Amino acid sequence: MKSSGKPALHKLVRSLDRQLLAIRAADYFPGQAGAGAAEGLETLRAEIDKKLSPGEPRPSRGAVERLPRTSFQRKTWATRKRPWVDRLATAWLIRRFVDESPRFVWLDNPKACPKSALGFDFDGARFTHVGDKVSFEVVMHTFGLEDDAALKRLGELVHYIDIGGIPVDEAAGVETLVRGLQAQHDDDDALLAAACDLFDTLYAALRLTK
């Protein structure tokens, strides 16, 4: 499928998300039909991700572990190449709040991740989707950053763009900007540097409106 079809399909799923949320909010006698519709929508989302983003991680089960930031300094962090919103935002979060001097590696094949690297946002990675949390939210909770209201709101934004759910007003604009950054930068290090400026700006704006 052409890459131009990917935004359209994700937009369709988000539209269905909003419609289902509105219907369920107005449904004073919820039953199996609503639950079945939600399950069907999740199945559709999973099939779209499998076709268009075959490397997207499957959520693991269990609790998110707590770890001290002091043990994660000057580390090498690895994720899939050509990062999208969750990977870019997670790399920004690591650089801004976790590791004071990180190095990032962009993987052609996550199965070839160096053993010395800390993987994120792929199946089998040290930090990846857990339950209903995307990688950004997992890293945020792992390192005890969830009390930062602006980071929490940014996590909700990343979550919605990455896998859908509760709509976030800024999502469409941020998604468009990230697609523009991808179009401008073929090199993933340059892409991350540009994305970090974007997320710094978003974080500052969210701090003003918390």
Examine the domain organization and report whether 85 and 40 are in the same domain.
Answer: no
Question: Is residue 199 in a domain?
Answer: yes
Instruction: Read off the pTM.
Output: 0.77
125 with 113: CB under 8 angstroms? yes
**Whole-number pLDDT of residue 129:** 96
Question: Is residue 60 in a domain?
Answer: no
Strand residue runs (E) in the chain: 76-80, 103-107, 118-119
Examine the domain organization and report whether 44 and 73 are in the same domain.
Answer: no
Under-50 pLDDT residues of the chain: 1-4
**Whole-number pLDDT of residue 2:** 38
Examine the domain organization and report whether 180 and 102 are in the same domain.
Answer: yes
Examine the domain organization and report whether 24 and 98 are in the same domain.
Answer: no
Question: Is residue 18 in a domain?
Answer: yes
85 with 174: CB under 8 angstroms? yes
Single out the residue of 165, 163, 189, 161 nearest to residue 174, CA to CA: 161
Examine the domain organization and report whether 77 and 119 are in the same domain.
Answer: yes
**Whole-number pLDDT of residue 42:** 64
Question: Is residue 57 in a domain?
Answer: no
Examine the domain organization and report whether 74 and 45 are in the same domain.
Answer: no
37 with 30: CB under 8 angstroms? no
Examine the domain organization and report whether 11 and 85 are in the same domain.
Answer: no
Examine the domain organization and report whether 95 and 197 are in the same domain.
Answer: yes
Whole-angstrom Cα distance, residue 123 to residue 90?
Answer: 16
Place of tokens 């991680």: 57
**Whole-number pLDDT of residue 159:** 95
Give the residue numbers spanning the domain of 44. Answer: 5-52
Examine the domain organization and report whether 91 and 192 are in the same domain.
Answer: yes
Question: Is residue 145 in a domain?
Answer: yes
**Whole-number pLDDT of residue 4:** 43
Question: Is residue 41 in a domain?
Answer: yes
Examine the domain organization and report whether 119 and 172 are in the same domain.
Answer: yes
How many domains are contained in the chain? 2
Examine the domain organization and report whether 123 and 179 are in the same domain.
Answer: yes
Examine the domain organization and report whether 130 and 170 are in the same domain.
Answer: yes
